[in-house]
């Protein structure tokens, strides 16, 4: 019953947080105004700036910020014990992550939908814009390179997820055209699409469809990566209402239904026990992981690496890109910002809690590794006996899929359907992050080209840089660069296709550093208006210190191992961080109460 009590307690806590702290931020601090002019209406272009229903935007925003982050991070971090992981998710999401997401969204809304990188150049210094956009470009390149590889790996691990994920594309285009062109009501199309997607999970691996899945699962990782990035080009260039927005929306329907089934299965397993094993009595649901494990075998120190390992679910810098990159361009009413910014982050936090419970309790109901089957504490130890065993992609996803599938099986659902549904769940989350990241990278490339053109005094239409202010050229550059990084071998003369994974060890620190820099922009924006800013400044300092310490510790290990590629990227990131902090310090005193120049 302790597992159920934790889930219910967390839900109540998030409900209270949304209607107390979230409401104070929205109404009293940011003073969200339902009559305020918003970028989606002021700059409506039918491509990026599109006024949209808040339920549709919530689906896009939640699936984009979540990705596999709140799955893989907590699934690894429970190796230090489930209590530290749970505390960081709760405190981080309520006091830091949701504040970061809402603040980034509001600041962008008040600046014609610009990204936080562009806004940094006006609220701090001009040089900060270029430095900030450089960090964004680096982070998004790693995201694009890695998530293409991750989705390919998921399809190979769970081939039954391929057809259901591909089916989402034509369904999304259909519902997007119906809503935007014909103005149809959301309810019936949503129910129909949801039914079709669930049927595709149930029957999408049978007969010819099973052969189709098997054939595509045999593709090489880089072939999948190229195909997925090609899809991203289309999704980034098309109007947002055509594919990106409706795909994220219908994905969110399936994902919320799946989460609901997982919670229901958790309730049933807590009260009645899990699915019977080989005709035996239903096993009791209990937490089989240690509450604290300060020194797991071969693991890095819990401080600061717990706070880097769990990013999405607690606080993630990537979220400021979604808030200020796509969501701010779609809100049709300013007061929707609390629901989108604060609410989606709490929803992601709840997902992270379910992941923790699936790994420390659901896994104990049974897991298979190789030819062996484990239950109880032995199931947890089989997955988490060392850092190496817990940190691989297969181990991360396997622990969550097995644990959550056990919750579904407690409802009487078949093992085949349960695993297929959770496989689609993971692949869909990753895909929504991938296509959103591509559109965000396109914005960053365009803003970088614009900034550099201004510095050189070029006129519109002149110079090579102006070519990349065009959305087609910017998208192609973003995708090509990501693919080249993904193709990098793990060593000179090695097998290509490891580039993104090679750079992944520094992404966690870069991602959290990005959150600290976004808080810096929010703090300056508030300070210039004479508004309270301590609630943003303190989390900002924390999110600058933690990744800075982690990156510094990593640099030493990179140097000792002779990994000069990672050392170079990490050292460059630290230099940029210090430079931005220095720029901020230089204008801190004279910024109070002084508004930045108008757009």
Place of tokens 């910024």: 591
pLDDT by 10s per residue, the chain, length 599: 589 999 999 999 999 999 999 999 999 999 999 999 999 999 999 889 999 999 999 999 999 998 778 888 899 899 999 999 999 999 999 999 999 999 999 999 999 999 898 899 999 998 898 888 888 888 888 888 888 877 888 888 889 999 999 999 999 998 888 877 776 777 788 889 999 999 999 999 999 999 999 999 899 888 888 999 999 999 889 898 888 888 888 888 888 999 999 999 999 999 999 998 876 789 899 999 999 999 888 888 999 999 999 998 999 999 999 999 999 999 999 999 999 999 999 999 999 999 999 999 998 898 888 778 889 999 999 888 888 776 666 667 788 889 999 999 999 999 889 988 998 888 888 888 888 889 999 988 988 888 777 766 655 545 677 788 888 999 999 999 999 888 887 666 666 766 666 777 788 888 899 999 999 999 999 999 999 999 999 999 999 999 999 999 989 888 888 888 789 888 998 999 899 999 999 999 999 988 888 76
| CB contact at 8 A, 312 and 101 | no
pLDDT of residue 177: 86
pLDDT of residue 485: 86
pLDDT of residue 490: 65
Q: What is the 3 state secondary structure string of 28-84?
A: HHCCCCCCCCCHHHHCCCCCCCCCECHHHHHHHHHHHHHCCHHHHHHHHHHHHCHHH
Give the 3-state secondary structure percentages of the chain, helix then strand then coil, rounded to 5. Answer: 75, 0, 25
| CB contact at 8 A, 406 and 384 | no
Greatest Cα-to-Cα distance within the chain, rounded to the nearest angstrom: 77
DSSP 343-402: HHHHHHHHHHHHHHHHHHTGGGG-EEETTEEE-THHHHHHHHSSHHHHHSHHHHHHHHHH
pLDDT of residue 390: 65
pLDDT of residue 164: 93
Residue 485 to residue 298: CA distance in whole angstroms: 29
Residue 438 to residue 330: CA distance in whole angstroms: 17
Q: What is the dihedral of CA 132, 137, 142, 143, to 10 degrees?
A: 90
| Beta bridge mates, 29 | none
Residue 318 to residue 542: CA distance in whole angstroms: 17
Whether the bond between 304 and the residue before it is cis, its omega within 30 degrees of 0, is: yes
| CB contact at 8 A, 112 and 42 | yes
CATH of domain 2-591: 1.20.1740.10
Any idea what DSSP says for residue 493?
Answer: T
pLDDT of residue 491: 63
Place of tokens 């049978």: 206
| CB contact at 8 A, 262 and 365 | no
pLDDT of residue 388: 75
Domain assignments of the chain as residue spans, ordered by start:
2-591
| CB contact at 8 A, 134 and 382 | no
Residue 468 to residue 474: CA distance in whole angstroms: 5
pLDDT of residue 106: 97
Structure tokens that stand for 313 in this block: 């679910």
């Amino acid at each position: 019953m302790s597992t159920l009590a934790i889930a219910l307690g967390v839900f109540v806590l998030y409900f209270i947080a949304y209607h107390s702290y979230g409401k104070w931020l929205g109404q009293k601090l940011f003073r969200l105004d339902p009559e305020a002019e918003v970028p989606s209406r002021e700059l409506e272009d039918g491509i990026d700036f599109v006024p949209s229903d808040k339920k549709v935007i919530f689906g896009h925003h939640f699936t984009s910020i979540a990705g596999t982050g709140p799955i893989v991070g907590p699934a690894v971090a429970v190796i230090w014990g489930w209590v530290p992981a749970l505390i960081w998710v709760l405190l981080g999401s309520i006091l830091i992550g949701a504040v970061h997401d809402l603040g980034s969204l509001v600041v962008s809304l008040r600046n014609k939908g610009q990204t936080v990188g562009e806004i940094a150049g006006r609220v701090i210094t001009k040089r900060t814009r270029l430095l900030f956009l450089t960090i964004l470009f680096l982070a998004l390149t790693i995201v694009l390179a890695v998530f293409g590889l991750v989705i390919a790996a998921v399809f190979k691990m769970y081939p039954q997820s391929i057809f259901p994920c591909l089916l989402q594309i034509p369904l999304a285009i259909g519902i997007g055209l119906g809503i935007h062109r014909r103005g149809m009501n959301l309810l019936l199309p949503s129910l129909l699409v949801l039914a079709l997607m669930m049927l595709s999970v149930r029957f999408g691996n049978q007969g010819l469809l099973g052969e189709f899945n098997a054939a595509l699962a045999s593709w090489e990782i880089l072939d999948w990566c190229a195909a997925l990035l090609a899809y991203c080009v289309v999704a980034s260039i098309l109007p947002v209402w055509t594919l990106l927005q409706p795909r994220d929306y219908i994905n969110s329907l399936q994902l919320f239904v799946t989460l609901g089934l997982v919670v229901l299965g958790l309730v049933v397993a807590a009260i009645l026990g899990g699915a019977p094993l080989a005709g035996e009595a239903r096993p009791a649901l209990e937490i089989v992981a240690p509450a604290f494990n300060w020194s797991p075998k071969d693991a890095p120190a819990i401080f600061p690496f717990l706070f880097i390992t769990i990013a999405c679910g607690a606080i993630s810098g990537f979220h400021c890109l979604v808030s200020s990159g796509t969501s701010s361009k779609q809100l049709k009413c300013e007061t929707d910002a609390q629901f989108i910014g604060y609410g989606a982050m709490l929803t992601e936090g709840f997902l992270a809690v379910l992941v923790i419970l699936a790994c420390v309790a659901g896994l104990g109901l049974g897991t298979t590794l190789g030819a062996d089957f484990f239950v109880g504490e032995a199931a947890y130890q089989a997955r988490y006996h060392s850092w190496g065993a817990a940190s691989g992609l297969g181990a991360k996803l396997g622990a969550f899929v097995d644990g959550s599938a056990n919750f579904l099986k407690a409802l009487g659902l078949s093992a085949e359907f349960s695993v297929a549904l959770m496989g689609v769940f993971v692949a869909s989350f990753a895909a929504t992050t991938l296509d959103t990241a591509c559109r965000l990278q396109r914005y960053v490339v365009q803003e970088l080209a614009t900034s550099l053109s201004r510095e050189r005094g070029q006129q519109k239409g002149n110079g090579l840089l102006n070519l990349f202010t065009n959305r087609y050229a910017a998208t192609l550059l973003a995708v090509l660069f990501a693919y080249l990084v993904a193709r990098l071998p793990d060593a000179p003369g090695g097998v290509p296709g490891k580039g993104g994974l090679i750079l992944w060890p520094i992404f966690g620190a870069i991602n959290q550093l990005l959150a600290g820099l976004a808080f810096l922009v929010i703090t300056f924006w508030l300070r210039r208006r004479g508004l309270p800013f301590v609630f943003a400044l303190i989390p900002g300092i924390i999110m600058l210190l933690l990744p800075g310490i982690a990156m510094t510790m990593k640099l030493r290990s990179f140097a000792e191992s002779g990994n000069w590629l990672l050392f170079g990227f990490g050292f460059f990131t630290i230099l940029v961080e210090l430079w931005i902090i220095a720029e901020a310090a230089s204008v801190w005193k004279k910024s109070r109460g002084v508004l930045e120049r108008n757009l």
